[in-house]
Structure 1
Amino acid sequence: MKALKLQKPFGLDNIKLTEIDDPGQPGPGEIRVRVKASSLNYHDYGVANGSSPTEDGRIPMADGAGVVEAVGEGVEEFEVGDKVVSTFFPHWETGPALVADFSSTPGDGIDGYAREVVVRPTRYFTHQPSNYTHAESATLTTAGLTAWRALVVNGGIKPGDSVLVLGSGGVSVFACVLAKSLGATVFATSSSDQKLQRYKELGADHVINYEDDPEWGKTVSKLTEGRGVDHVIEVGGPGTLPQSINAVALSGHIALIGVLTGMKGEVPTAKLMGKQARLQGLIVGSRAHQQDLVRAIDASGVKPVIDKCFGLDELADAFRYEEAGKHFGKICLEF
């Protein structure tokens, strides 16, 4: 069967399409899944280009969605024909966070979903939303679940809250759609007026071009009559955190999700303390969180935004498209 492998020296030019052995039939507690789609994340890009080192020959991609082809002895949760989507932390099933690294994450510490078939224990998957395509479902493993945990699990969002999303990547765009479905007011930033128009079409109430307005945090505060927003989806890290602190309300919540502007930087701690705001880091979520997300999607009909889809053998081109920063929402693979 076909699979992609990362080969040393790591880089987008060294993603190789190859033939690997079929994994065979599932054993007790396992399911065999025909993979139909994946979606790209900056974490996958870091693994592929070598900035997040992994083993030579690693099969990339953390996200995978497909169809159950066979079930092993004792499996009751899934049946042949079920549509399933992968979990980011297969060993974190429920409760508080149990992992602080990517040693068990598919596509990083273990082989991922850039292949046609996998055989895995049931904890590696949940059911897909009933009305989702495979590509739409594949956006949930990393981006969708991160937005869900930031706003719902950690943030406790409620109707009437306000949310600020930064940039136009998969997490931020899904957070916008999710927040609107939950009755929130949404503020969005981007350096592209075209992308800001896309945000308006999704229902964003206020949009700000951060290149035209480098003090966008203060602008958000003014737009809320000095109150600030209840939730910030912070994907930039040190380069954007000072403005996010300006934007957040007293006793508000900043979900620190990404570090796109760098790994280190100064934090205006006195201002954060004065705001009495909660700055909370998070990495995706548990299997139970994902099951809750799927139920919420089935109830609400919320849909992700997919910018473009590529074939399995076009992964390098897909990463280059991501690298260019022209996308709005998610980039997917379909195969």
Structure 2
Amino acid sequence: MPLTMKQWQILPAGLDRFRQTQVAVPTPGPGEALVRVRAVALNYRDVAMVDGTIPPPASGPIVPGSDAAGEVVALGSGVTCLRIGEAVIDVDNIGWFDGPPPAHANSAPVLGRLAEFVVVPAAQLVRAPTTVSAISASTLPVAGLTAWFALVEEGRLRAGQTVVVQGTGGVSMFAVQLAAAHGARVIVTSTSDTKLERAIALGASAGVNRVANPEWEQVVLELTEGLGADHVLEMAGGDNLRRSLAAVKLGGRISLIGLLDDAELRAPMLEILFKRVTLAAIAVGHRRALQDLVQAVDQLRLEPVVDRVYAFDDAPLAFDHQRRGPFGKVVIDLSD
């Protein structure tokens, strides 16, 4: 094992402030594992933290990246749940293993994964799927689990339901695949006909172009014979919540996931009350749900949608691609 490793650091507020550094390989302490990182998938929040939309946890340099897949190369004392050489992915919510979030759980995003080696508490690691590559597995801990948690864990998804998925990013494409696999009818909204066609090829039943149909909620009502959707994944924020509220059925559910348009939400309170809508905030999910998702990926032979893979040295280009809005996921490959 080398004594030093490469990692990327950023000073928040600009991609031009990326720098690759050489640092010592960390040593796992009691209850920890050293993981050789093989792939890191990017999320909206990674770019938002660089740009200042989401405040970083520190004012100085940070090592970005939350989604990672790799293999265990060393174990600290007391670790019996993992083996050297085991392929793993990491849980994003620290200290949340099952059930409601405990009071002591750390809800801040995991960081520090854009490095050749990382030390992770063994309890935060989950065995990776056996049917996909490390590149695909790296997309599961945040984007995959967010979609799974919204639809399956909390949404109690059932065959025959109608789900509205907004956009074609990582969470949205996982939602399309998972909802379709459960027998649900999926309606996707996007500004691109090409992306809508690709989403339908993945299992969506219908697509709505939000440029051609700015009042997209009316199309959803037409497609559902005026009843509305059982579940809407709200990805934009701001005034878009009004449209999601109009598109959901009486007693339906809206999962609050993204803030692509606005970090605030605006919607009429009376309509929320009269429609008896459940508004559920989804901030990824717990460890047991990630284990369930891994089993589903293997059983369904589900292949995560990866738009493009970048080399480790091209990490700034990967962040720029993420900012432009990928179809599915952008992944950084550290396998070499």
TM-score (norm 1): 0.93
Task: Write out the 4+ residue segments of structure 1 that deviate beyond 3 Å after TM superposition.
Answer: 98-104
Question: What secondary structure, in the 3-state scheme, does the structure 1 residue paired with 2:77 have?
Answer: coil
Partner of 1:39: 41
Deviation at 1:102, TM superposition (A): 6.7
Name the CA distance, whole Å, in 2 between partners of 1:234 and 1:187. 13
Ranges in structure 2 where 5+ consecutive residues have no aligned partner: none
Partner of 1:240: 240
Question: What secondary structure, in the 3-state scheme, does the structure 1 residue paired with 2:67 have?
Answer: coil
Instruction: Rate the CA distance shift 1:270–1:91 in 2: closer, same or farther, 3 A.
Output: same
The equivalences for 1:109-258 within 5 A come to 112-258=112-258
Q: Is the 8 A contact 1:40 1:61 kept in 2?
A: yes
Among candidates 7, 12, 24, match of residue 15 of structure 2: 12
TM-score (norm 2): 0.93
Q: Is the 8 A contact 2:93 2:105 kept in 1?
A: no
User: Alpha carbon RMSD of aligned pairs, Å?
Assistant: 1.7
The equivalences for 1:247-326 within 5 A come to 247-325=247-325
Deviation at 1:28, TM superposition (A): 2.8
Deviation at 1:217, TM superposition (A): 0.7
Name the CA distance, whole Å, in 2 between partners of 1:223 and 1:54. 44
Question: What secondary structure, in the 3-state scheme, does the structure 2 residue paired with 1:267 have?
Answer: coil
Instruction: Rate the CA distance shift 1:101–1:262 in 2: closer, same or farther, 3 A.
Output: farther
Deviation at 1:104, TM superposition (A): 4.5
Among candidates 8, 11, 24, match of residue 21 of structure 1: 24
Deviation at 1:141, TM superposition (A): 1.1
Length, aligned pairs only: 328
Deviation at 1:299, TM superposition (A): 1.9
Q: Is the 8 A contact 2:94 2:106 kept in 1?
A: no
Name the CA distance, whole Å, in 2 between partners of 1:262 and 1:290. 28
Q: Is the 8 A contact 1:38 1:63 kept in 2?
A: yes
Name the CA distance, whole Å, in 2 between partners of 1:101 and 1:119. 19
Q: Is the 8 A contact 1:15 1:48 kept in 2?
A: no
Deviation at 1:101, TM superposition (A): 9.4
What is the letter of the counterpart of residue 328 of structure 2? G
Deviation at 1:90, TM superposition (A): 2.0
Deviations, residues 138-189 of structure 1 (Å, cap 9, x unaligned): 1111110000010011100011111110011100111000001111110000
Deviation at 1:305, TM superposition (A): 0.3
Name the CA distance, whole Å, in 2 between partners of 1:187 and 1:100. 38
Among candidates 49, 52, 59, match of residue 51 of structure 2: 49
Deviation at 1:309, TM superposition (A): 0.8
Deviations, residues 63-109 of structure 1 (Å, cap 9, x unaligned): 111011122333222111111001111221222124799764322xx
Question: What secondary structure, in the 3-state scheme, does the structure 2 residue paired with 1:178 have?
Answer: helix
Partner of 1:71: 75
Deviations, residues 185-236 of structure 1 (Å, cap 9, x unaligned): 1000000011011011112111000111011112101111111111111111
Question: What secondary structure, in the 3-state scheme, does the structure 1 residue paired with 2:24 have?
Answer: coil
Name the CA distance, whole Å, in 1 between partners of 2:307 and 2:174. 12
Name the CA distance, whole Å, in 2 between partners of 1:226 and 1:114. 47
What is the letter of the counterpart of residue 312 of structure 1? F
Deviations, residues 118-137 of structure 1 (Å, cap 9, x unaligned): 12221221111111211111
What is the letter of the counterpart of residue 6 of structure 1? I
Name the CA distance, whole Å, in 1 between partners of 2:152 and 2:253. 11
Q: Is the 8 A contact 1:135 1:332 kept in 2?
A: yes
Partner of 2:101: 97
Name the CA distance, whole Å, in 2 between partners of 1:154 and 1:228. 20
Percent identity (aligned): 39
- Indicate yes or no: 2:47 matched with 1:30: no
Name the CA distance, whole Å, in 2 between partners of 1:284 and 1:44. 14
Instruction: Rate the CA distance shift 1:118–1:284 in 2: closer, same or farther, 3 A.
Output: same
Q: Is the 8 A contact 1:181 1:302 kept in 2?
A: no
Q: Is the 8 A contact 2:6 2:115 kept in 1?
A: yes
Name the CA distance, whole Å, in 2 between partners of 1:244 and 1:308. 30
- Indicate yes or no: 2:63 matched with 1:59: yes
Deviation at 1:6, TM superposition (A): 1.2
